[in-house]
Amino acid sequence: MNRKDIEDHHSPGSSPTLTFSCYTEGHGKDFFSPNLWPERPAGMRKAFEAYYRALGGIGDELMRIFALALGIDERFFDDKITRSISHIRFNKYMAQKEAPLPGQLRAGAHTDYGTLTILYGEDRPGGLQAFSPDGEWIDVRPPPGAFVVNIGDMMARWTNDRWVSTLHRVVNPPRSEHRAERLSIAFFHQPGHDVEIRCVETCHGPGNPVRYPPVTYGDYRFGKVVSSRIEEDEA
């Protein structure tokens, strides 16, 4: 995603009450700033915190299913997501009274940084698209009440690209439906910032060398944010 995207969002994360140094020192200070809450609507914080806990639980359970699918211990990822820096983003895609600039989208093509993303989004004009293995953008139109789950960059690193992160974007509505607004809520499930991401033992071997050096998640994420901003400035 880049700063040219046509979206408005609020992006709170967890509210740790623990005093572990990983929350307060080094990168911890970057990832655990206090959340800011609007005064309206009333009850937003309470609803968010319940939703955050519920989605975090689903994400953690999916990681255990992922571990089984990869042929490793079911609990392999547990200690890597215990002090997760997961956060939620509430996205509002505004009506487009004025036509977007050439190449400008609601959200430009990107992959998500973390382990997996659980998305709840309205099926309205100007929605989500995913890039298929056949090289085509396809509309993602979940039925009401369904979640969309994206694989994030860390699963690609852990699996040596056996699973690749999902390239996706949010397109503009057709001009005939430019009044269409859209809401979505994305839960970005992520490891702890100090967790080292290293290829799992079942995803490399003779003829399949390790493609990526070990990296801590915080360093990876910081590097990706910086490089995306440099690319924009050079565009």
What does the binding site for Fe ion look like in residue numbers (CB under 5 A)?
112
Which position's Cβ is nearest Fe ion?
112
Q: Which is nearer to Fe ion, 1 or 63 (CB)?
A: 1
Question: What is d(CA 3, CA 94) in angstroms, rounded to the nearest whole number?
Answer: 15
Residues contacting residue 233 through CB under 8 Å, at least 6 positions apart: none
Smallest gap from residue 119 Cβ to Fe ion (A): 8
Q: Which is nearer to Fe ion, 50 or 183 (CB)?
A: 183
Q: Which is nearer to Fe ion, 64 or 110 (CB)?
A: 110
Q: Which is nearer to Fe ion, 112 or 194 (CB)?
A: 112
Smallest gap from residue 37 Cβ to Fe ion (A): 23
Smallest gap from residue 208 Cβ to Fe ion (A): 28
Smallest gap from residue 96 Cβ to Fe ion (A): 20
